[in-house]
Every structure is written in C-alpha cells, then in structure tokens.
Structure 1
C-alpha cells in the first residue's frame, strides 16, 4: 500500500510539474493572442528578425557554454540522440511523402523537440542532477541539428555555405566549441549575452500567440493528428536507439522523454523568417504542447 501510495504521489507531482512548465507557454501565448485579437499592431517581421538574429543566438551560446557535462556522459547519450533523430527523420520523411506534406514546413519542426525549456526541467525533476546532465547532452545535439540541418531544410537553401553564415549556426558552433574546450567568456560579456538571450523566449511565445490568433480551426485539427503520430514515432525511435546502444536505465529514460517533447517555438520563428508555412507550424506547436500535458506524465510514469 505504501509503495502504491508513493507511486501515486509521484505521478501527481509529475503531472503538476508538466503543467507548471507548460503554463507560461500558454500564458504568454494567450497575451500575444489577445494582443492581435484586439487589433493592436504587432510587427512580426521585425520581432522575428530581432529574436533570430540577436536574442536566440545569445541564448544558444550561453546555454552551451555554461553546461557542465562529463565528456563520457556526453558521448554515450549524444550518439544515441543522433541515431534517434536519424530514425525520426527517416520515418517523418516517409510520412511527408505519403501525406504529400510540404517538407520545408513540416519535416524539421516535427523532428526536433523542445528539449530545452520543457525537457531539461523534466529530466531534473524525474532523474535528479544526473538526469539533468544527460538532458543537456541531448539538448546540445538538438540545438546543433536544428540550426544546421533543420535550418537548411526550412530555408530551402541550395548553398549550405549561406546557412553557415546564419547567426544561430555561428552561435551553435561557437557554443559547442567553448563547451568542448572548457572555455568561457569574461564575466561582463557572459552577463551581457545572457541578458540578451533572456529576451528570446518571451518574444517567441508572444509571437506564437499572435500567429495562433490568425489561425483557422482546421489547421489546429490537422495539427492534433500530426502531433499524435509524431509522438508515437519519436517514442519508438528513442526506445530503439537506447536499446541498440545499450544505454543504462537513467540515460535511456531521459533519451525517450527528450525525444517526445513537443515542437519548439523556435521552429515557428524559423518558418516565419523563411516563409515556410508559419501558420501550420504554429498549429503544430500549440497542439503538440497540449498533447504533452498527457503524454509526458504517462511516459515518465512508465520510465521512472
């Protein structure tokens, strides 16, 4: 009875944690939604450029630079993450072909999840400081993948060199280099970059809310279907990669949880910047985050 009561309490705490994490997403999104519904001006193009050129690169760089990861820990779960993402990409590429979906719009957002804002707190709560280290390793792979290969897909650039000049890619490469070499910027510069990076998430969420305010109901319904299929594919890929590489229990669980996190708001901003179906991506962000309130507690209950 005591064991059952303990597991029941833990499950409730996990559900509450998920709700606490996703609540700010919906609150700030609701502010953006209300703003545009009131007819007030919101310069999406300017704010997207500000976020993607300045705020997000600073956020990426400081997050990678400040991470404290054991190289052995990083290599094991990082390789598993690369394998999982490769499996997810192949499966979703096939899905896009079958359903005749625009790959520039749907592929990258559905492959890479919100392993930072949502995945890291869950990894810490469920698996402690070790879980957090594993989560950061997955985040590093996600960040590099999204802002290199993902950015190449979304932008539709035929010349990879053009993508490599993007501020987000430069920030990712520099952050990974500083992380690998153990370097750090001077305190005054780190604080300045960190302050600039703090703009990124509020700007992204407000802009997402504005986009949702302009959506048609049919786009949300389609988003729910795709988000449900995406969760199943990502969970299967995470399990397959973890088993194939023989990951221990905790990194295996963290890998699966990180793989099924919802579509990140960053994907919407990329779609907005490169005119790659931003409204459809906004629908995916909203619906996948709503589903995460149900799917993540279930996954954690099975894995913890």
Structure 2
C-alpha cells in the first residue's frame, strides 16, 4: 500500500492535476478545445517528434522489435473487442466502436508524461517510437472500422500518412542518421515548442472533459473500457519476453500498452457519425478510471 500511494502521488497525481486545471479553467476562461487541439496537432506534436527522434539513438533492429511488440499487443486488444462484441450480439456500429476504443491508446496525452515521471526524461525517445507506431496502426484500423458499413475508403487511409507528426519523422531520422548539428536558431525554438506539448495536451484533455457534460453510463461503456484498460497490460506482460527488449524499452512498452482510449477516437467517431456520444463518453470514462489500472501496472513494474 505505501508503494501504491507513492506511485500515485509522484507519477499519476501530477498528470491528473494538470487535467483538473484544464477542467476548471476551460469553462471559466472560455477555452476552446478545438483551437488548443489544432495547436498541439499541427505545431507542438511535429516539433516534439522531430526534436526527440533527431537526438534519440536507437539501434534499427531494436526499434523494429519495439514496433512489432506494441503492434501485436494492440491487435490482440482489437481481437478481444471484436469477439466480445460479436458474442454480445452488438450491432455493426457498436462493434466498430468497441474496436476503435481498443486500438487507440492515449499514448500521447497520458503516455508521454506518465512515462517521463515514472522512468525519467531519457525514456521520452523510446515512448515516442511507441506513440508513433500506435498512431499509424490506430488511424488505419479506426478508419476501416468507421467505414466498414460504407465500404473501405483507401483515400482516407492515405490521410494517415499526411499526419504532421508522421511527416516530421523523415527529416528527424535524416538528421539523426547524418549526425547533423542544427544551429541554435533552429534547436532552441524546437526545444521550447517540445517542452510545451505535454502540459498543453493535458490541459486540452481537461477542457474536453469539462465540455463533455455528464457521463451516461451503460454496460457497453464498462465493457469496452475494461477491454482497453485490461487487455493491453495482460497482452503486454504476456508477450514482452518474446521480443528480448532491454529493461527500459520493455517498461515503456508495457506502460504504453496500458493507456486508456485516446481522445482522437471520439473525433474520428464524430467525423464518421459512428455513435459519437457513446464513444466520447467511453473515452472520457476510461481516462478517468485509468488512474487505478495504471497504478496497478506501475506497481507490477
């Protein structure tokens, strides 16, 4: 119990305090979640990705094993979500919602700060690789799930690779591989923008929570949230030995596998008119209750 309290106070509480700040300040200051989200999406995230990946030294084979690990874990969660929804005889739309919630972890808003507090800033580069791997997989699966009843739209999947964070990968890797020393006039703005990403994303989550109104509970909310919060760490702990990852990479991978559903899931559901109220409520609920599941995972680690 003392270890659990220490983990909560030192790792989880700082994250949730920033979320609470956004929740309280959002309505009072009339902050718009969409404007803040676009700032993070188009400016802060690509700056962060470029800044971290251009300086992170990770052997190519190790990066491949990391990406394979987290991809397999999240695909396992997708299979659980699909099978459970089918066994419960849910509609096609609800089955798609289950799948979307299962595949898209909040590896940015929650994953990056929690990993930084739990393991130190040196783990941010590792966490970013997992973040980008899940981003690609999740967008493809979510777009496919959201459009399964209307036919698969390849053009929409192409939009995944026009995501600003993914576009930043190529120049970052080139700078890294060539060991290019960028001048201070480039490095310092990138440092400032990168430092702003994590607090801004947590404030955005709080603003979104405040704007969501009352949570509407249902059996599907509890079941789909449980799949995201439980299947991820179960698969991660079960599969981690297959990939021969060093201790830090393994710890970060398990944590990123254990994150609640990402806010972007609700945006995709809204854009595709796929049970947006249910998906948004479930995403927010899973983020709130993840304080308990993440505390358990951190204790096990």
Please state if 1:90 is matched with 2:90: no
What's 1:138 paired with?
Answer: 130
Among 186, 191, 216, the alignment partner of 1:189 is: 186
What's 1:78 paired with?
Answer: 67
What's 1:295 paired with?
Answer: 293
* Distance change in 2, residues 1:210/1:191 (3 Å): same
Query: What is the CA–CA distance in structure 2 between the aligned matches of 1:144 and 1:74, rounded to whole Å?
Result: 15
Alpha-carbon displacement from aligned partner over 1:232-280 (angstroms, at most 9, x marks no partner): 2112221232133355665444332221112233444555566655544
Among 23, 29, 32, the alignment partner of 2:23 is: 29
Query: What is the CA–CA distance in structure 2 between the aligned matches of 1:18 and 1:245, rounded to whole Å?
Result: 28
What's 1:64 paired with?
Answer: 53
Gaps of 5+ in 1: 1-7
What's 1:14 paired with?
Answer: 7
Q: Which moved more, 1:130-139 or 1:288-297?
A: 130-139
* Distance change in 2, residues 1:124/1:298 (3 Å): same
Kept in 1, the 8 Å contact 2:266–2:283? The answer is: yes
1:114 partner SS: coil
Kept in 2, the 8 Å contact 1:231–1:260? The answer is: yes
RMSD: 3.9
What's 1:259 paired with?
Answer: 257
Q: Which moved more, 1:243-252 or 1:231-240?
A: 243-252
Kept in 2, the 8 Å contact 1:52–1:269? The answer is: no
Query: What is the CA–CA distance in structure 2 between the aligned matches of 1:272 and 1:201, rounded to whole Å?
Result: 25
Among 240, 243, 246, the alignment partner of 1:245 is: 243
Kept in 2, the 8 Å contact 1:45–1:273? The answer is: no
Kept in 2, the 8 Å contact 1:65–1:184? The answer is: no
Query: What is the CA–CA distance in structure 1 between the aligned matches of 2:159 and 2:111, rounded to whole Å?
Result: 30
Q: Which moved more, 1:157-166 or 1:204-213?
A: 204-213
* Distance change in 2, residues 1:227/1:66 (3 Å): farther
* Distance change in 2, residues 1:135/1:292 (3 Å): same
Q: Which moved more, 1:292-301 or 1:74-83?
A: 74-83
* Distance change in 2, residues 1:119/1:43 (3 Å): closer
Kept in 2, the 8 Å contact 1:268–1:282? The answer is: yes
What's 1:5 paired with?
Answer: none
Q: Give 1:192 deviation, angstroms.
A: 3.4
2:58 partner SS: coil
Gaps of 5+ in 2: 148-152
Kept in 1, the 8 Å contact 2:80–2:227? The answer is: no
Q: Give 1:296 deviation, angstroms.
A: 1.4
Q: Which moved more, 1:218-227 or 1:253-262?
A: 218-227
* Distance change in 2, residues 1:55/1:138 (3 Å): closer
Please state if 1:149 is matched with 2:143: no
Alpha-carbon displacement from aligned partner over 1:36-95 (angstroms, at most 9, x marks no partner): 9xxx5x666555555434444334433433434344543333322222122223223334
* Distance change in 2, residues 1:122/1:69 (3 Å): farther
- The aligned length equals 290
* Distance change in 2, residues 1:80/1:279 (3 Å): same
